[in-house]
Amino acid sequence: MAGETTPRERVRSGGRSEKVRREVARTVLDLLAEGVVDFGPSEIAARAGINRKTIYRWWPTYTDLIREALSEHSGTVEVPDTGSWPRDLRLLAQRLAAFFASPVEMSTSAIIAGRRQPELAALILEHFEPVQQEWRRMVARGISRGEVDTACSPRAVINMLVSQLVLTPLTLCRPPTDEEIEELVTLVLRATKPAITARRGDAE
């Protein structure tokens, strides 16, 4: 394929600059947010006003386009690391509540739940595996600081937290209220509180 491009074209189409990458991601995300799931590199090139050769070189398949878009999107949720489990948990809950209620997430959640595009659904779920691992690591940091009980599995804690934040916009078409987020955070803090084993205060 590289042999087909003249030097001039190669310069014009450029490398995968950060600007181009973000434009491609944004275009795919806009389509997903509109509920449009049926597109390929050509449509993205036309819609984003980017050289087709550039798109075909770096994102030759639908899968490549979707992965780029999802990485861009989930990168918008910064995983907090404040050194305090209650602060980290509250921040993550607030950020995820906004994230899952965003048009892109509402649309991709509906794609998964609607079961009409099983391959796209599988791609989205696969994308979230490493993302969820980052969230779980936040719980693991709480355990290592002694703020989260060692009996708590990071996976179970994150599942419990995230499920409600995903399901509320999906079923009620609205983000969780501040009160609902706070109630959920309070319950998760109670659930993860370390059991008192050593009562050092009593010995003094």
Distances (CA, A) of 178 to 105, 131, 149, 185: 19, 24, 26, 10
- Alpha-carbon gap, residue 162 to 110, rounded angstroms: 16
The length of the chain in residues reads 204
**Rounded to the nearest whole angstrom, what is the least distance from the CB of residue 82 to its own copies in the complex?**
22
**Rounded to the nearest whole angstrom, what is the least distance from the CB of residue 18 to its own copies in the complex?**
32
**Rounded to the nearest whole angstrom, what is the least distance from the CB of residue 4 to its own copies in the complex?**
42
**Rounded to the nearest whole angstrom, what is the least distance from the CB of residue 190 to its own copies in the complex?**
4
Backbone angle region of 14, left / alpha / beta, with phi > 0 → left and psi within -120 to 50 → alpha: left
From 191, 186, 46, 163, select the one nearest 100 (Cα to Cα).
163
Please say which residue, 50 or 165, places its beta carbon nearer to its own copies: 165
Distances (CA, A) of 166 to 54, 77, 122, 184: 35, 14, 17, 13
Please say which residue, 133 or 163, places its beta carbon nearer to its own copies: 163
Please say which residue, 65 or 139, places its beta carbon nearer to its own copies: 139
Q: Name the packing angle between helices 62-74 and 103-114 (round to 10°).
A: 130
**Rounded to the nearest whole angstrom, what is the least distance from the CB of residue 143 to its own copies in the complex?**
14
Please say which residue, 4 or 179, places its beta carbon nearer to its own copies: 179
**Rounded to the nearest whole angstrom, what is the least distance from the CB of residue 131 to its own copies in the complex?**
14
* Amino acid identity, position 142: G
DSSP 148: S
Which spans of this chain sit near its own copies (rule: CB under 8 A)?
A: 109-110, 112-116, 125, 149, 152-153, 155-157, 159-160, 163-164, 166-168, 170-173, 180, 183-184, 186-188, 190-193
Please say which residue, 46 or 156, places its beta carbon nearer to its own copies: 156
Phi/psi for 89 (5° steps) reads -60, -50
The residue written with tokens 């709480």 in the block is: 142
Please say which residue, 2 or 195, places its beta carbon nearer to its own copies: 195
